[in-house]
Amino acid sequence: MFEKVTLSSLQKSLGPVLIYLIPVVVFILLLSGTYWMWKETNRLSIELIRAGSRSQAEQIKIRFQLFLFERTKDLLHLASIISTDSIGNDSHRFPKDASGIVYREKSYRQIFFFDLSGQFRYLDNPADSKYVQNQIFLQVIRSYLSSVKKTGPVEMVSTPFADTSGEKLLAVFVPVQITKNSDSVFIGAVCGLLKVPFFISKILDSTTVQSYQIIITIADSLLYKNPIEPENNTAVRATAGIVFTDMQKNVRIVVTPPFRGFLKVLLQENNTRFTVNILLSLGAVMLLAISLYAFRKASLIGNDLKKSEARYRTLAENASDMIFRQLISDGSYEYVSPASERVTGYTAEDFYKKPFFFNQITEEDSKPIIEQQWKDVLSGVLKPFYDFKIVDKSGKIHWIHQKIVIIFDSEMNPIAIEGIVSDITEQIIASEEREKLIAALKRNNQDLERFTYTISHELKTPLITIKGFLGYLEAEAKSGDLSTLHRDIQYIITASETMESLLNNLTEITKIGQLNIIREKVDIREVVTRVTGSLQALIEKTGADIIIMPGLPGVNGYANELGVLFRNLIENALKFRQRSVPPKIVIGFGTYNGIEDVFYVKDNGLGFDPRYNERIFGLFNKLDSETSGTGAGLTMVKRIIEHHGGWVKAQSEGVGKGTVIIFKLPQIS
């Protein structure tokens, strides 16, 4: 009755004009919102690209500072020579070391030492003294000495300048002080002339130079600007710049991105979305207009109460969910829809015959839920829904989702409940599977973190070895002493082979579970036989006795991975054997230590302390440092078994008492 009054009043109050006006207003609102989103997305896109430009500028800044820091270290070394020698005591060291630095670092044009009068005392190459007469450079030196009078002796970089030949240079100054009567006395500075093109090539990569416009200034003097110009105003809006102070000079780096790249794609996609949203808004408004027109027509037609009741009953009779009405007084059912048989396995007649029938078919663990539900009904305070388990007519357990409302009489006394019952068994199963997947994902993320840490740790050792012995080789080459050359090279080769082995093992581990292959029935006896055949030379060499027990079942899995699994287990057992006893390896299936239906690989080898049961499966973990290899074999074993949905554990009674690897796989027969 309430709905009918609403339709009637709407018909009288809303004429055709107002009904057609609503879509226009809605369209204007949608258009305004879409336009605002378009402008905001454009702004965010430019901000994103600007952030990328800022990142490029920060990277250039870091390389700029690092390069000047390295050059400052060179000059500090030369300054220490002058400070120690007190000028003249060992004056040949400065040219020798300076020449070595210029030869090693191609960005230097020349290195000088000048005193407080601006006179050149030492040069890296006394024969090349053209800069001593260069008035431009002499002015740079005088400018530095003038600055030192204000700031005190400090490290400083000059603004860019060109010599008489037009070559662009940059001067780096490091003050030289000596101790005199317990005081530090400034006597001059070591100056390194840097060739700007070499300097720029050190701090800029070719990709950035070819894509971005880059401008670098020192104290407002242009150091570098590549020939790329901004393509349009949008690219200029995405420009980012940073200003910082290094060696007493303000440095500014400005980076402008290319419009043709990611920025253009973002803006084009945003324009496309704007157009699509306008069209969708127009379509939605048209649908709204049609809906309003249909609503007005429906309100004019109306329906009588009898037809409404008939439609309601038809809906209830054909609904996929069970609908019921139950009296509170005696628990009998006034109405039960035919869907009860699909949901519970019992017909409506079964419910009519037995009051409180839901209580009788509820699974034992869920009975407290039903009892609490009835208490809630009597108290008049219901939960939004009740989920519980029932046992259907065939004995199967189903999860039920029940929503109920209380029906009151005219005096607000509860007289009945009406409810809708759904079978949510599949949803519950899906939810449980989802939780399992989430848990597996968390485990995988934790494994990934450990994996990343282990890689960085294990690869660092051979790299340090290689780096160290390369330093020895350099020193030996300079000194001419080649007596230990072969030994040092052999250490480098060994470290390289270790790194290659580590990387190969990592590659094999990461391949596990990545190939898009289908599971198949795998004959484990055939796999083991094939693996032992491939290892026959090693088996004969060690005098091993390989025993393959009867009754190995087929497995639903991946043949190649299972081959790798058993190869690693057998190789591991042979590797960690006792030298005084011939190896004996037993491969079987059955009940082991009270665990049913498991595979096991048992040996009489070195064994291990039971405290390390889990540690031996860690990546690159080796309990015996005397053996060769990287320690990745059992890690591969664990990953392959987990990829098959199984588990693995290692057992040993102690060192020297052998090892048994027990694992579960999805066997077929």
**Which residue in the block uniquely carries the two structure tokens 């609102």?**
29
Q: What is the pLDDT of residue 444?
A: 62
Encode pLDDT of 203-238 as tens digits: 887 777 677 778 899 988 888 888 877 766 666 676
Residue 588 tokens, joined: 């079987």
Cα dist from 277 to 281, 284, 291, 371, 507, whole Å: 6, 10, 20, 53, 47
Q: What is the pLDDT of residue 516?
A: 47
Residue 358's nearest CA partner among 380, 325, 329 is 325
* 60 CB-near residues (< 8 Å, 6+ apart): 203, 204, 208, 214, 216, 253, 255
Q: What is the pLDDT of residue 458?
A: 55
- Whether residue 259 contacts residue 235, with contact meaning beta carbons closer than 8 Å, is answered with yes
Q: What is the pLDDT of residue 504?
A: 60
pLDDT band at 22 (very low <50, low <70, confident <90, very high): confident
The Cα 489–Cα 78 span in angstroms is: 33
- Whether residue 386 contacts residue 366, with contact meaning beta carbons closer than 8 Å, is answered with no
- Whether residue 602 contacts residue 612, with contact meaning beta carbons closer than 8 Å, is answered with no
Indicate the angle between helix axes 196-203 and 16-85, nearest 10 degrees: 130
- Whether residue 644 contacts residue 665, with contact meaning beta carbons closer than 8 Å, is answered with yes
Residue 191's nearest CA partner among 228, 262, 135, 140 is 140
pLDDT band at 459 (very low <50, low <70, confident <90, very high): low
Residue 223's nearest CA partner among 212, 211, 214 is 214
Residue 499 has pLDDT above 70, yes or no: no
Q: What is the pLDDT of residue 630?
A: 46
Residue 129 tokens, joined: 């003294």
* 101 CB-near residues (< 8 Å, 6+ apart): 74, 77, 78, 108, 111, 124
Residue 148's nearest CA partner among 174, 119, 120, 112 is 174
- Whether residue 153 contacts residue 146, with contact meaning beta carbons closer than 8 Å, is answered with no
Amino acid at 330: D
pLDDT band at 331 (very low <50, low <70, confident <90, very high): confident
Higher pLDDT, 436 or 549: 549
- φ, ψ dihedrals at 571, nearest 5°: -60, -40
Indicate the angle between helix axes 16-85 and 93-104, nearest 10 degrees: 150
Q: What is the mean pLDDT of residues 49-72?
A: 86
Q: What is the pLDDT of residue 663?
A: 92
Architecture of the structural domain at 321-422: 2-Layer Sandwich (3.30)
Q: What is the mean pLDDT of residues 376-395?
A: 83
Residue 91 has pLDDT above 80, yes or no: no
Q: What is the pLDDT of residue 632?
A: 65
Q: What is the pLDDT of residue 435?
A: 85
Higher pLDDT, 387 or 231: 387
Q: What is the mean pLDDT of residues 572-576?
A: 87
**Which residue in the block uniquely carries the two structure tokens 């094939």?**
530
Q: What is the mean pLDDT of residues 414-431?
A: 86
- Whether residue 149 contacts residue 123, with contact meaning beta carbons closer than 8 Å, is answered with no
Q: What is the mean pLDDT of residues 165-177?
A: 88
- What number of helices (H) and strands (E) belong to the chain? 19, 22
Coil, strand, or helix at residue 654? Answer: coil
Residue 619 has pLDDT above 70, yes or no: no
Residue 203 tokens, joined: 């701090």
Higher pLDDT, 578 or 503: 578
Handedness of CA 6, 7, 11, 15 (dihedral sign): positive
Higher pLDDT, 437 or 545: 545
The Cα 487–Cα 368 span in angstroms is: 79
pTM: 0.41
Q: What is the pLDDT of residue 585?
A: 92
Q: What is the mean pLDDT of residues 551-561?
A: 88
Neighbours of 230 (CB within 10 A): 17
Q: What is the pLDDT of residue 60?
A: 87
Residue 69 tokens, joined: 């820091």
Q: What is the pLDDT of residue 175?
A: 92
Q: What is the pLDDT of residue 88?
A: 47
pLDDT band at 482 (very low <50, low <70, confident <90, very high): confident
Q: What is the pLDDT of residue 526?
A: 93
Q: What is the pLDDT of residue 1?
A: 41
Residue 628 has pLDDT above 50, yes or no: no
Lowest mean pLDDT among 297-311, 512-526, 646-660: 297-311
Would you give the DSSP letter of residue 205?
-
Q: What is the pLDDT of residue 523?
A: 92
Residue 395 has pLDDT above 80, yes or no: yes
Residue 257 has pLDDT above 50, yes or no: yes
pLDDT band at 174 (very low <50, low <70, confident <90, very high): very high
* 632 CB-near residues (< 8 Å, 6+ apart): 502, 505, 506, 508, 509, 619, 620
Encode pLDDT of 241-254 as tens digits: 788 888 888 999 88
Residue boundaries of the structural domains of the chain: 2-39+275-307, 321-422, 430-511, 520-663
pLDDT band at 302 (very low <50, low <70, confident <90, very high): low
Lowest mean pLDDT among 85-94, 434-443, 559-568: 85-94
pLDDT band at 501 (very low <50, low <70, confident <90, very high): low
Q: What is the mean pLDDT of residues 13-34?
A: 74
Q: What is the pLDDT of residue 204?
A: 84
Residue 150 has pLDDT above 60, yes or no: yes
Residue 86 has pLDDT above 60, yes or no: no
Q: State the fold for domain 430-511.
A: Helix Hairpins (1.10.287)
Residue 213's nearest CA partner among 191, 190, 238 is 238
Lowest mean pLDDT among 34-43, 553-562, 573-582, 610-619: 610-619
Residue 600 has pLDDT above 90, yes or no: yes
Q: What is the pLDDT of residue 12?
A: 56
| CATH no. of 520-663 | 3.30.565.10
* 668 CB-near residues (< 8 Å, 6+ apart): 521, 553, 554, 555, 556
- Give the strand pairing for 108-115 and 183-195: antiparallel
